[in-house]
Amino acid sequence: MSNPTEVLQELLASEIRGDILVLFHRNPGLIDTLQGVARRIGKTEYSIEKDVQSLVKIGILKRKKIGTSEVIFLDRDRDHEVLESVANHLSTIRGSNEN
Protein backbone atom coordinates (compact mmCIF):
# COMPACT_ATOMS: atom_id res chain seq x y z
CA MET A 1 0.00 0.00 0.00
CA SER A 2 1.76 3.16 -1.18
CA ASN A 3 -1.05 5.58 -2.05
CA PRO A 4 -1.03 8.21 0.77
CA THR A 5 -4.82 8.68 0.57
CA GLU A 6 -5.40 4.95 1.11
CA VAL A 7 -2.78 4.84 3.86
CA LEU A 8 -4.43 7.78 5.64
CA GLN A 9 -7.87 6.16 5.49
CA GLU A 10 -6.38 2.91 6.82
CA LEU A 11 -4.54 4.67 9.66
CA LEU A 12 -7.72 6.37 10.88
CA ALA A 13 -10.20 3.66 9.99
CA SER A 14 -11.33 3.06 13.58
CA GLU A 15 -11.10 4.44 17.09
CA ILE A 16 -9.07 1.38 18.13
CA ARG A 17 -6.53 2.05 15.38
CA GLY A 18 -6.22 5.63 16.63
CA ASP A 19 -5.70 4.39 20.20
CA ILE A 20 -2.99 1.94 19.05
CA LEU A 21 -1.19 4.70 17.14
CA VAL A 22 -1.28 6.99 20.19
CA LEU A 23 -0.05 4.17 22.45
CA PHE A 24 2.99 3.36 20.29
CA HIS A 25 3.83 7.00 19.50
CA ARG A 26 3.79 7.86 23.20
CA ASN A 27 5.83 4.74 23.99
CA PRO A 28 8.01 4.18 20.92
CA GLY A 29 10.11 1.53 22.67
CA LEU A 30 7.11 -0.57 23.70
CA ILE A 31 7.28 -4.30 22.94
CA ASP A 32 4.25 -6.28 24.03
CA THR A 33 1.96 -9.15 23.13
CA LEU A 34 -1.40 -8.63 21.45
CA GLN A 35 -3.07 -9.26 24.80
CA GLY A 36 -0.79 -6.72 26.52
CA VAL A 37 -1.45 -4.05 23.89
CA ALA A 38 -5.20 -4.67 24.18
CA ARG A 39 -5.05 -4.32 27.97
CA ARG A 40 -3.13 -1.05 27.70
CA ILE A 41 -5.88 0.56 25.61
CA GLY A 42 -8.72 -1.00 27.59
CA LYS A 43 -9.86 -3.48 24.92
CA THR A 44 -9.84 -7.23 24.40
CA GLU A 45 -7.29 -9.16 22.37
CA TYR A 46 -9.96 -10.28 19.94
CA SER A 47 -11.32 -6.74 19.34
CA ILE A 48 -7.95 -5.26 18.31
CA GLU A 49 -6.61 -8.11 16.14
CA LYS A 50 -7.93 -6.71 12.85
CA ASP A 51 -6.60 -3.20 13.58
CA VAL A 52 -3.16 -4.44 14.59
CA GLN A 53 -3.01 -6.55 11.43
CA SER A 54 -3.86 -3.51 9.33
CA LEU A 55 -1.05 -1.44 10.91
CA VAL A 56 1.34 -4.38 10.37
CA LYS A 57 0.30 -4.44 6.70
CA ILE A 58 1.10 -0.72 6.36
CA GLY A 59 4.44 -1.46 8.04
CA ILE A 60 4.11 0.85 11.05
CA LEU A 61 3.93 -2.12 13.44
CA LYS A 62 6.01 -5.28 13.29
CA ARG A 63 5.34 -8.73 14.76
CA LYS A 64 8.10 -10.98 16.01
CA LYS A 65 8.19 -14.37 17.69
CA ILE A 66 10.12 -14.41 20.97
CA GLY A 67 10.13 -17.87 22.54
CA THR A 68 6.57 -19.05 22.60
CA SER A 69 5.09 -15.54 22.49
CA GLU A 70 4.54 -13.23 19.58
CA VAL A 71 5.24 -9.56 20.31
CA ILE A 72 4.28 -6.33 18.56
CA PHE A 73 6.44 -3.23 18.30
CA LEU A 74 6.74 0.04 16.38
CA ASP A 75 8.99 0.21 13.32
CA ARG A 76 10.17 3.78 13.92
CA ASP A 77 11.80 4.27 10.51
CA ARG A 78 8.79 3.01 8.58
CA ASP A 79 6.44 4.99 10.85
CA HIS A 80 8.37 8.20 10.13
CA GLU A 81 8.41 7.45 6.41
CA VAL A 82 4.66 6.72 6.24
CA LEU A 83 3.61 9.78 8.24
CA GLU A 84 5.93 12.04 6.28
CA SER A 85 4.44 10.82 3.02
CA VAL A 86 0.91 11.43 4.38
CA ALA A 87 1.94 14.92 5.56
CA ASN A 88 3.34 15.76 2.12
CA HIS A 89 0.14 14.54 0.50
CA LEU A 90 -2.07 16.55 2.90
CA SER A 91 -0.06 19.71 2.31
CA THR A 92 -1.14 19.65 -1.34
CA ILE A 93 -4.86 19.63 -0.46
CA ARG A 94 -6.35 23.09 -0.05
CA GLY A 95 -9.61 23.95 1.66
CA SER A 96 -12.15 26.30 0.08
CA ASN A 97 -11.25 29.16 2.46
CA GLU A 98 -7.48 28.75 2.07
CA ASN A 99 -5.26 30.58 -0.40
Residue ranges that bind another protein, judged by CB under 8 A:
8-9, 11-15, 17-19, 21-22, 25-26, 79-80, 83-84, 86-87, 90-91, 93, 95-96, 98
CA distance 30 to 44: 18
Q: Which CB sits closer to another protein, 8 or 71?
A: 8
Distance (Å, whole) CA 79 – CA 58: 9
Nearer CB in complex with another protein: 72/79: 79
Q: Count the residues in the chain.
A: 99
Considering the complex, state which of residue 64 and residue 90 has its C-beta at the smaller distance from another protein: 90
- As a whole number of angstroms, the distance between CA 94 and CA 99 comes to 8
